[in-house]
């Protein structure tokens, strides 16, 4: 028994589903799959934060019991937009948690950043199937999060394409035969840019990923490769391997989504076109599969697949994340908080692209490690580090 297999899906009728962050890239891809297989799902709750018009549109189309907007100032707009329907409406952080607590079989954790932690944990606590996209929440609270999963009997299924790939080819009955995990990385849009070019990178250039269409924060994380750093930590928590068994490999075509190497020399990989609807569908239908409208992989058209080791000087985020994981304790929480603030400052044109790493390095250097015993300590560590990261970013402006 492992965290992925606490529950059998014996339910043959429509599966009830809540989408936390339905207005985002993961949320929209999830709804796209539901539109494609409407008889297989029943939407219970949808949540957004700023894009109230899209949330209203989604609620009218998918008829959930509840629609929640994180930003309380938008409550009246949501209420008006859904007046005359039977859909309940609510706003604010506590309402996001209530949406997660509402009875549904599956909860898609698609909020970006630590803002998704408390709603996701609320879904874990009631033993739901968690289709986890929100890697930051696992990075921040690793062992505490997994303890809650074990306590409640929740099922944790990774949506992140690399972890979903590993999940599909990992032999959980013979985990001692696993030698290594290889997380593939596209290398992002600036894989060939010079340092001079990186100094001038603008937010609109950074959010343009060559292969994937994603939200702004994860797109910047992909450009700095902090996304792969966070994914290293995510993989450590999700799979029974040690930190030094997890490798990162640049693979610009994003066809092989990750690999597992076994002690007999076999390497199992999962492949597909870069379309998040594939890993999302796997989590939504698990342990079965769902037909998706995703484009099919044609290797003869792609012709060749390339691989290279990441250059540690060019992508310092990888070493920062690995060190934070090795140090353990509060360090992954600190890394994540500093990164969230630095990326936000970059997106708001307060600091340059290369300053993102400067802020994170400075925060990590000056923070002494501690042990975080409960979720409230994670939230307060996050709060303190955010304030400090903002000060450091401000000094750079």
Binding mask 116-155 for Mg ion (x = CB under 5 A): ----------------------------------------
Task: Kindly tell me which of 201 and 214 has the beta carbon lying closer to ligand NAD.
Answer: 214
Q: Identify which of 164, 389, 382 has the alpha carbon closest to the alpha carbon of residue 279.
A: 164
Tokens describing residue 215: 């939200």
SS (H, E, C) 62-114: HCCCEEEECCHHHHHHHHHHCCCCCCEEEECHHHHHHHHHCCCCEEEECCCCH
As measured in angstroms, the least distance from the Cβ of 211 to Mg ion is 11
Site for Mg ion in 153-172 (CB under 5 A): 160-162
Q: Residue with CB nearest Mg ion?
A: 160
Binding ligand NAD by CB under 6 A: which of 112, 122, 156, 389? 112
Binding ligand NAD by CB under 6 A: which of 276, 334, 342, 343? 276
Task: Kindly tell me which of 42 and 162 has the beta carbon lying closer to Mg ion.
Answer: 162
Q: Identify which of 17, 281, 22, 270 has the alpha carbon closest to the alpha carbon of residue 159.
A: 281
Residues linked to residue 109 through DSSP beta bridges, in sequence order: 20, 132
Cis? peptide before 287, omega within 30° of 0: yes
Binding ligand NAD by CB under 6 A: which of 3, 17, 26, 393? 26
Should residue 292 be labelled a site residue for ligand NAD when binding is judged by CB under 6 A? Answer: no
As measured in angstroms, the least distance from the Cβ of 249 to ligand NAD is 18
Report yes or no: 224 and 201 within 8 Å, Cβ to Cβ.
Answer: no
As measured in angstroms, the least distance from the Cβ of 134 to ligand NAD is 4
- N-terminal to C-terminal alpha carbon distance within the chain: 51
Should residue 284 be labelled a site residue for ligand NAD when binding is judged by CB under 6 A? Answer: no
Binding ligand NAD by CB under 6 A: which of 89, 115, 117, 331? 115
Q: Which stretch binds ligand NAD (CB under 6 A): 35-43, 111-119, 235-243, 372-380?
A: 111-119
Report yes or no: 162 and 183 within 8 Å, Cβ to Cβ.
Answer: yes
Should residue 136 be labelled a site residue for ligand NAD when binding is judged by CB under 6 A? Answer: yes
Cβ atoms < 10 Å from Cβ of 268: 16
Rounded CA-CA distance 62/335 in Å is 37
Should residue 70 be labelled a site residue for ligand NAD when binding is judged by CB under 6 A? Answer: yes
Should residue 135 be labelled a site residue for ligand NAD when binding is judged by CB under 6 A? Answer: yes
Rounded CA-CA distance 247/244 in Å is 8
Residues forming contacts to ligand NAD in the complex (CB under 6 A) are 21-27, 48-49, 70, 96, 110-112, 115, 133-136, 160, 212, 214-218, 276
Residues forming contacts to Mg ion in the complex (CB under 5 A) are 160-162
């Amino acid at each position: 028994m492992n965290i992925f297999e606490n529950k059998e899906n014996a339910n043959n009728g429509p599966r009830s589903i809540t989408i936390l962050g339905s207005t985002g890239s993961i949320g929209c891809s999830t709804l796209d799959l539901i539109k494609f297989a409407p008889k297989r799902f029943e939407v219970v709750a949808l949540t957004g934060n700023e894009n109230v018009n899209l949330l209203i549109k989604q609620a009218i189309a998918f008829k959930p019991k509840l629609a929640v907007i994180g930003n309380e100032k938008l409550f009246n707009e949501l209420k008006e937009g859904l007046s005359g329907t039977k859909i309940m409406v609510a706003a604010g952080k506590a309402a996001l948690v209530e949406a997660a607590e509402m009875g549904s079989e599956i909860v898609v954790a698609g909020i970006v950043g630590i803002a998704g932690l408390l709603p996701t944990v609320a879904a874990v606590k009631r033993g739901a199937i968690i289709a986890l996209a929100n890697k930051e929440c696992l990075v921040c609270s690793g062992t505490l999060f997994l303890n809650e999963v074990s306590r409640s009997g929740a099922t944790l299924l990774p949506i992140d394409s690399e972890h979903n790939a590993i999940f599909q080819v990992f032999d959980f009955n013979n985990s001692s035969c696993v030698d290594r995990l290889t997380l593939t990385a596209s290398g992002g849009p600036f894989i060939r840019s010079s340092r001079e070019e990186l100094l001038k990178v603008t937010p609109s250039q950074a959010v343009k990923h060559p292969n994937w269409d994603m939200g702004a924060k994860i797109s910047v994380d992909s450009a700095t490769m902090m996304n792969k750093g966070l994914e290293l930590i995510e993989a450590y928590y999700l799979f029974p391997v040690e930190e030094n068994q997890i490798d990162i490999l640049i693979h610009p075509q994003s066809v092989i989504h990750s690999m597992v190497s076994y002690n007999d020399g076999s390497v199992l990989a999962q492949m597909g076109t870069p379309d998040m609807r594939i890993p999302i569908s796997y989590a939504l239908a698990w342990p079965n599969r769902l037909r998706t409208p995703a484009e099919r992989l044609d290797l003869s058209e792609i012709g060749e697949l390339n691989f290279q080791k990441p250059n540690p000087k060019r992508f310092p985020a990888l070493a920062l994340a690995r060190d934070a994981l090795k140090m353990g304790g509060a360090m992954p929480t600190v890394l994540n908080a500093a990164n969230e603030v630095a990326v936000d400052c970059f997106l708001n044109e307060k600091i340059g692209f290369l300053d993102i790493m400067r802020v994170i390095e400075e925060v990590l250097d000056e923070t002494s490690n501690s042990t975080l015993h409960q979720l409230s300590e994670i939230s307060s560590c996050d709060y303190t580090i955010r304030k400090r990261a903002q000060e450091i970013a401000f000094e750079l402006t």
